[in-house]
Amino acid sequence: MKHYELLCVLPGTLSEDEVAPVMQKVQDILEKQEATEIVIEDRGKSRMAYPMKHIRYGYFRLCTFKVEPGKMPVIQEKLRLVGELMRALITVFDPSKREEGSSKEAFCTIDEIDTTKKTGQGRRKEERKETAPAKAVAKEKVEEKKEEKKETVEKPKEEKNTKAPSISMEDIDKKLDEILESDIAKV
């Protein structure tokens, strides 16, 4: 028997009460194919990266189970027939890798990450402290040079401001959401 992981994406248009029966159908499909150790984890409702079937939000459920590899095509076919599921993705699951990865990431602080790097890709925190004064001295020299240049430069004639007014990222995000919503409404 192999360990598998099933990610189910249900439409956000369903209510919380309607999600439970759909997940019961999924669990029944797994049990009929003699799956064991079925664990269903609620990952909540969140916005998807892109709309699926014109739906932007979805409920995410993660199921882990053990089953014979020969029964996987039957499970996939039966899941495809469940109309309420927007997506069902099955992957091979390795519990030891999941436990190692989650425990390392969950309990490390930023200071520990900086001091425990073993590769030469990044500098350690102690090295950063040593180089900080050199950067400050370099900034002072640059500021002195700028002051000298300012004295010798004559004021150019005033030019009209041709620059466009600055736009905040929030305004851009709102405008993009409006455009995307109007595109979906037209379809």
**pTM as predicted:** 0.52
* Residue-level pLDDT at 102: 52
Nearest to 80 by CA among 26, 37, 158: 26
Strand, coil or helix: 132 = helix
Domains of the chain (ranges, CATH numbers): 2-107 (3.30.70.60)
CB 24 within 8 A of CB 83: no
| 78: Cβ contacts below 8 Å, ≥ 6 apart | 29, 33
**DSSP, res 29:** H
Cα 108 to chain center, whole Å?
A: 20
Sequential pLDDT tens for the chain (187 residues): 889 999 999 999 988 899 999 999 999 999 998 888 999 999 889 998 888 888 999 999 999 999 998 999 999 999 999 888 999 999 998 878 776 555 444 445 555 555 555 555 544 444 444 444 555 555 555 555 555 555 555 555 555 555 666 788 888 888 888 888 876 766 5
In whole angstroms, give the CA distance from residue 80 to residue 73. Answer: 11
At position 139, the amino acid (one-letter code) is K
Residue holding tokens 């998807």? Answer: 48
The number of beta carbons lying within 10 Å of the beta carbon of residue 51 is 16
Tokens of 150: 């300012």
